[in-house]
């Protein structure tokens, strides 16, 4: 891949990178749409009532995790687009969001359970955290992969293939 103004290798992860990739106006719009003129709604994980002024929009799959998943074919713009999809946003209590930090939902849950479940996470909350985290990860990683493969030319993709199609291998094995 040729280094051009639109394709620059990613610089090391930093707070500055996070701030450039985070789309605050999109998160603000998501929050306004979720609250829809109300002062309170249910936290998307715990189903507890959360006030608009104490609610955050969580990047379910964090910018830092997406940065770690990016390939040499992904740009900063690709990561920005991938992490700022509505499907990767959840309205949640600010204290939860800040204690979660850049961890995945599963990593956060494991940490909490190892420390005695101080936050009293219920089984249904744990299930919701895992399901929503898995969905968000698939969406963000999928977006990065699609961009990665569209960056590669068809000839480069053909060169990367190793052996016959897996379906043909399976069919040959089966017979």
Asked if 41 contacts 35 with a C-beta cutoff of 8 angstroms, the reply is yes
What is the C-alpha separation between 107 and 100, in angstroms, rounded? Answer: 9
Q: What is the pLDDT along the chain (175 residues), one digit of tens a residue?
A: 454 555 566 888 999 999 999 999 999 999 999 999 999 999 988 889 999 999 999 999 999 999 998 888 888 999 999 999 999 999 999 988 999 999 999 999 999 888 887 777 888 899 999 999 999 999 999 999 988 777 665 445 555 444 444 344 434 434 3
pLDDT of residue 20: 95
Q: What pLDDT is stored for residue 121 in this prediction?
A: 84
Q: Which pLDDT value is given to residue 113?
A: 87
Q: What is the pLDDT of residue 156?
A: 55
* Distance in angstroms (rounded) separating the CA atoms of residues 154 and 149: 9
Instruction: Assess contact for 118 and 52: CB atoms under 8 A.
Output: no
């Amino acid at each position: 891949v040729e280094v051009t103004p639109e394709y620059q290798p990613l610089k090391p992860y930093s707070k500055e990178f996070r701030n450039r990739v985070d789309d605050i106006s999109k998160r603000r719009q998501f929050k306004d749409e979720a609250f829809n003129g109300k002062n309170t709604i249910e936290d998307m994980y715990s189903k507890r009532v959360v006030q608009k002024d104490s609610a955050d929009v969580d990047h379910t799959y964090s910018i830092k995790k997406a940065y770690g998943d990016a390939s040499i074919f992904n740009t900063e713009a690709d990561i920005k687009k991938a992490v700022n999809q509505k499907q990767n946003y959840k309205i949640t209590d600010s204290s939860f969001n800040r204690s979660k930090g850049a961890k995945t939902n599963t990593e956060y849950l494991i940490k909490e359970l190892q420390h005695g479940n101080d936050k009293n996470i219920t089984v249904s909350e744990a299930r919701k955290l895992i399901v929503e985290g898995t969905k968000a990860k698939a969406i963000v990683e999928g977006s990065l992969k699609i961009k990665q493969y569209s960056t590669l030319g068809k000839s480069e993709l053909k060169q990367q293939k190793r052996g016959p199609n897996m379906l043909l291998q399976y069919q040959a094995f089966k017979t």
